[in-house]
Structure 1
Amino acid sequence: MPTPHEGSGISGRHGPVRAPQGIAGGILLIALAALALWLTRDLDQGTLNSMGPAMLPRWLAIGVGLSGLALIAFAFTREGEPLERWSLRGPFFIILAILAFAVTIRPFSFGGITIPGLGLLVAGPLAIIVGGYASPEARFRDLLILALSLTPFCMLLFGDLLNLPIPVFPQALAELFPADWSQKAVMRVTAAVLVAGAFVVFFTTRGSRKTTIDVADHSGRI
Structure 2
Amino acid sequence: MSTPREGSGSFERRGPVRSPQGVAGGILLLALAALALWLTRDLDQGTLNAMGPAMLPRWLAIGVGLSGLALIAFAFIREGEPLERWSVRGPFFVIAGILAFAVTIRDFSFGPLALPGLGLVAAGPLAILIGGYATPEARLRDLVVLSLSLTPFCMVLFGDLLNLPIPIFPQALAGLFPADWSQKAILRATAAVMAVAAVIVFLLTRGRTSNRVDVADHSGGRI
> Could you state the TM-score of these two structures normalised by the residue count of structure 2?
0.90
Q: What RMSD, in angstroms, separates the aligned Cα atoms of the two structures? A: 1.6
Q: Which amino acid aligns with 1:132?
A: G
Partner of 1:197: 197
Deviates most, 157-166 or 1-10? 1-10
Partner of 2:218: none
Q: Aligned-pair distance for 1:5?
A: 3.4
Distance verdict in 2 for CA 1:73–1:211, change over 3 Å: farther
Q: Aligned-pair distance for 1:122?
A: 0.5
- 5+ residue gaps, structure 1, are 213-222
> Could you state the TM-score of these two structures normalised by the residue count of structure 1?
0.91
Partner of 1:178: 178
State how 1:63-212 maps to structure 2 within 5 Å: 63-210=63-210
Deviates most, 126-135 or 84-93? 84-93
Partner of 2:33: 33
Q: Aligned-pair distance for 1:209?
A: 3.2
**Secondary structure at 2:114's aligned position in 1?**
strand
**Secondary structure at 1:168's aligned position in 2?**
coil
Distance 2:69 2:149 in 1: 33
The answer on whether the counterparts of 2:106 and 2:118 sit within 8 Å (CA) in structure 1 is yes
Distance 1:109 1:174 in 2: 23
Q: Aligned-pair distance for 1:78?
A: 1.2
Distance verdict in 2 for CA 1:179–1:36, change over 3 Å: same
- 5+ residue gaps, structure 2, are 213-223
What whole-Å deviation, never above 9, does each CA across 1:131-175 have from its counterpart, x for those lacking one? 000001000000000000000000011001110011111211110
Distance 1:202 1:24 in 2: 38
Distance 1:79 1:108 in 2: 47
Q: Aligned-pair distance for 1:4?
A: 2.4
Distance 1:4 1:16 in 2: 22
Q: Which amino acid aligns with 1:81?
A: E
Distance 1:112 1:31 in 2: 32
Partner of 2:215: none
Distance verdict in 2 for CA 1:48–1:208, change over 3 Å: same
Q: Aligned-pair distance for 1:8?
A: 6.5
Distance 1:71 1:15 in 2: 17
The answer on whether the counterparts of 1:21 and 1:82 sit within 8 Å (CA) in structure 2 is yes
Distance verdict in 2 for CA 1:20–1:187, change over 3 Å: same
Distance verdict in 2 for CA 1:209–1:121, change over 3 Å: same
Q: Aligned-pair distance for 1:40?
A: 0.9
Distance 1:34 1:192 in 2: 36
Distance verdict in 2 for CA 1:206–1:45, change over 3 Å: same
Q: Structure 1: which 4+ aligned runs deviate by more than 4 Å?
A: 6-9
- Structure 2 residue 52 is the aligned partner of structure 1 residue 52: yes
Structure number with greater CO (CA < 8 Å, separation at least 6) is 1
The answer on whether the counterparts of 1:18 and 1:78 sit within 8 Å (CA) in structure 2 is yes
Identity rate, percent: 77
What whole-Å deviation, never above 9, does each CA across 1:113-133 have from its counterpart, x for those lacking one? 211111111000000010000
Distance 1:120 1:209 in 2: 31
